[in-house]
Structures are given as C-alpha cells and as structure tokens.
C-alpha cells in the first residue's frame, strides 16, 4: 500500500506535487514536450519520449495512486483507454465474468471488440455471488466489477467478488468511477486493479476526457505500463494538468455532491409524481447496509422512476433548467437524462424493461448548485409534465 499517513484531503492537494525545484512554481507545469535531450546515447534524466512518460503525467499518476491508497498509477486518454489496457493483459481463449449492468462502453468493447480476438465474456448479476461463482470456469482470468452501477445504483460487494476471483486465480478489477477514491478504495477490499474515467468526478468540471488504472502490484503495473506505451492511448500534458487541478478539490466537491444527493433523494422519495428512488443512501435501497460499510458516503448519482409515461419523462428532462439535459456525470453542474431514450436506448424495449430500465426512469448527476434551486427546478418540470 501507498506509504502516506496524511489524510485524503491533504493527499489530494499535495501527493505527487512538489513545488518546481528550479523556479519554485507551485503548480506542476504543463510539460509540452514530445522528446527530451539526452546527455549521451541512452543516457537520459528519466524521460525519453512523451508517449512513454511525461513529467506532468507522472505527477498526475502519483496523485491518483495516492488517492486510491495504491502504489502505482497509470493515466490514459480516456476511461475506455484504461479499460482497453486491462483487456490487453489477457490472452486469446481467456474468459471474463462481468456485471450484467456494466457501463455501455464497457459492454461494447468487451463484446464488439474483444470477442473478435477470442476473449469470452459472461454477464451476470454481480449482487448474486453464487451466480458469479457458477459463471467462473478454468479459463476465467478476470472478474470485472462496477459499483455503484448505472443507472439503478446497485451496490456490489467488492471483497466478496475479489474472493471469488482469487479462488479462481483470476484478477479482480473494479471500475471506481461512480464512487471515486474519496468514498471507496477497492484495493483496500482486495481488488487487484482500480479503473477510472477521469472524465467524471476526478476531473470534475466537464472539460476533459481521461482514464486511469491503479494497482498495488509492481509486476502488474509493469505490464500495464508496457501496454500503455505500446498502444499509446496516453493523455496530453494539458489534460493531465486539468485533472490534477480537479483532484485538488475532489474531497470538498464530493462532500457537497453527497449532501445534495442525499437531500434530493429524500425529497423525491416523498414526491407524489415519483414511484421509486434508487439511491444507496436511502434505507429502502436493497444494498444500503453494504453501501454503508463499503463506502464512506453514498455519492452524487441517483435515479428515480416517474409515475408516468415515456413522453412525460421526456418532458421533465426537457423542461429542467438548473439540470442540463446531457449524458455523462460527475461535473460541478447537475445533469439529467432519460436512460430509455438516451444512454440505454439501443437495448430492445422488452430486454430493457426486464433489466428494470423503465420508460419513466430518470437519471440525475447531482451537482453542487444550491439544493433549493434543484428542487424548485424539478418541481416546475414535473408541473409541466403532469
């Protein structure tokens, strides 16, 4: 584990970031370099070429590792670039078990890119540990976990799933994008790899696309670094700078996201236009206890079911003003979307309904605006729809 006794609020600001030795510049400079002068052939000062390594990226990677309480971080040009790298660790013929409600892009790269290269995937309900155990076979080399999941905020037990993976000599990777290391650190629960879309809460300002992998295992990190450099989905120094700027305020932003989401979930739960609210912080959530154990707070994502038609739900998401109608999540601004018509529209209706993704389902990324403005905005949108 990462050796830093300081608390996460302090690490977020200082880990991996010392004032520049020569100039005293407080912030990590944007090292806009493709290449580096060598003192003799092969005699360099740690950097040769920026796909392989760049000082701005190094600081970001150290910062992300420290946040996850891991020893090694690697940054990518997108969350998908990071996920791709985990798949690069596998061989043709290997088998992967993943949740049946993983992020759409994850499902797509698994089935539409890597099945072609003879990797096999099984998608199961990862809250059902027997189902996961049943799906595991000799060829299983990876168990892929997301928690909380999208858009129904199901919570998966990382320690239990890591045990299933390890009993089968497989790796356990956890996509920690929704919770962030401020609320949940999967390596502490036995995961081998943590994956992130930096695009969401870690960047936090809806202005950059990025990804990361963090591990505690030197050999695994060496392999990850090999594929990071070989494939080349690496972030620009400017993108690294933006994410470093974001992670400094992660703890204060997350506190506000969580407070606002908690209050909004309770308000929606009491509202006559709403039939169900999906938020791990509610007592009624099926994995509330597990969430309380595994997470330090319940996050800023929630969804709810409008007691109405697909059209009425569409009206609500069109009429909000504080909530912007958009995909993505994790920025300071509140976003709203309708999975049945947007992020999950590609799934056939019957299948979608079976998965609990009803026509009236609305997903919200609760921002850090004032909670009263959010409630008033949703109220006027409900009034327009009913």
Using alpha carbons, list the distances in angstroms from residue 33 to 42, 63, 230, 237, 277. Answer: 18, 21, 19, 8, 49
323 binds ligand PLP (CB under 6 A): no
- The CA-based angle 317-322-326, given to 5 degrees, is 50
Binding mask 137-176 for ligand PLP (x = CB under 6 A): ---------x----------------------------x-
80 vs 274, beta carbon nearer ligand PLP: 80
Of all residues in this chain, which one has the CB nearest to ligand PLP in the complex? 79
- Active-site entry in 4, 36, 51, 248: 51
**Alpha-carbon gap, residue 45 to 23, rounded angstroms:** 18
- Active-site entry in 200, 253, 262, 352: 200
Find how far residue 254's CA is from the centre of its chain.
14
What is the per-residue burial (b if ≥16 Cβ within 10 Å, else e) of 128-151? ebeebeebbeeebbbbbbbbbbbb
The yes-or-no answer on residue 116 being catalytic is no
* Number of other residues whose CB lies within 10 A of the CB of residue 365: 27
Pick from 197, 206, 287, 338 the residue near ligand PLP by CB under 6 A: 197
* Count of residues of this chain found to bind ligand PLP when the rule CB under 6 A is applied: 15
Token digits of residue 262: 């908690």
- Least distance (Å) between residue 366 CB and ligand PLP: 15
Do 330 and 300 form a contact (C-beta atoms < 8 A)?
A: yes
Token digits of residue 15: 């880990």
The yes-or-no answer on residue 31 being catalytic is no
105 binds ligand PLP (CB under 6 A): yes
107 binds ligand PLP (CB under 6 A): no
315 binds ligand PLP (CB under 6 A): no
Question: Looking at 76-84, 299-307, 346-354, 355-363, which segment touches ligand PLP (CB under 6 A)?
Answer: 76-84
79 binds ligand PLP (CB under 6 A): yes
Q: Mind giving me the DSSP string for 72-127?
A: EEEEESSHHHHHHHHHHTS-TT-EEEEETT--HHHHHIIIIIIGGGT-EEEEE-TT
78 binds ligand PLP (CB under 6 A): yes
The radius of gyration computed from the CA coordinates of the chain, to the nearest angstrom, equals 21
- Least distance (Å) between residue 150 CB and ligand PLP: 6
59 vs 175, beta carbon nearer ligand PLP: 175
- Active-site entry in 59, 94, 157, 175: 175
The yes-or-no answer on residue 175 being catalytic is yes
Residues assigned a catalytic role = 51, 103, 175, 200
Binding site for ligand PLP (CB under 6 A): 78-80, 103, 105-106, 146, 175, 177-178, 197, 199-200, 209, 211
């Amino acid at each position: 584990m990462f050796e830093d006794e300081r608390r996460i609020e302090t690490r977020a600001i200082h880990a991996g970031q010392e004032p520049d030795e020569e100039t005293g510049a407080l912030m990590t400079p944007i090292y806009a370099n493709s290449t580096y002068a060598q003192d003799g052939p092969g005699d360099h000062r740690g950097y040769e070429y920026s796909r392989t390594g760049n000082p701005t990226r190094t600081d970001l990677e150290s910062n992300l590792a420290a946040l996850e309480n891991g020893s090694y971080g690697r940054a990518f040009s997108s969350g998908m670039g990071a996920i791709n790298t985990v798949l690069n660790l596998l061989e043709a013929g290997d088998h992967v078990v993943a949740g049946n409600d993983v992020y759409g892009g994850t499902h797509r790269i698994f089935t539409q890119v890597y099945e072609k290269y003879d990797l096999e995937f099984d998608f199961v309900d990862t809250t059902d540990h027997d189902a996961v155990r049943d799906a595991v076979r000799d060829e299983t080399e990876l168990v892929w976990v997301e928690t909380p999941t999208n858009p129904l905020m199901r919570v998966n037990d990382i320690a239990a799933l890591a045990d299933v993976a390890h009993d089968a000599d497989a790796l356990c990777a956890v996509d920690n994008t929704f919770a962030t290391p401020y609320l949940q650190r999967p390596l502490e629960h036995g995961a081998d790899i943590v994956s992130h879309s930096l695009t969401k809460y870690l960047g936090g300002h809806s202005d950059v696309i990025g990804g990361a992998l963090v591990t505690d295992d030197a050999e695994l990190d060496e392999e990850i670094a090999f594929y990071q450099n070989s494939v080349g989905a690496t972030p620009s120094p400017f993108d690294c700078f933006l994410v470093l700027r974001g992670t400094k305020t992660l703890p204060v932003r997350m506190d506000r996201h969580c407070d606002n989401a908690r209050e909004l979930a309770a308000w929606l739960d009491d509202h006559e236009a709403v039939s169900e609210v999906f938020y791990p912080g509610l007592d009624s959530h099926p994995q509330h206890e597990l969430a309380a154990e595994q997470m330090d707070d319940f996050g800023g994502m929630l969804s709810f079911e409008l007691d109405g038609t697909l059209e009425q739900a569409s009206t609500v998401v069109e009429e909000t003003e504080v909530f912007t109608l958009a995909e993505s999540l994790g920025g300071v601004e509140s976003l709203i979307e309708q999975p049945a018509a947007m992020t999950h529209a590609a799934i056939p209706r019957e299948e979608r309904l079976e998965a609990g993704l009803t026509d009236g389902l609305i997903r919200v990324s609760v921002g850090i605006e004032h909670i009263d403005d959010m409630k008033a905005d949703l109220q006027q949108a409900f009034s327009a729809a009913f």
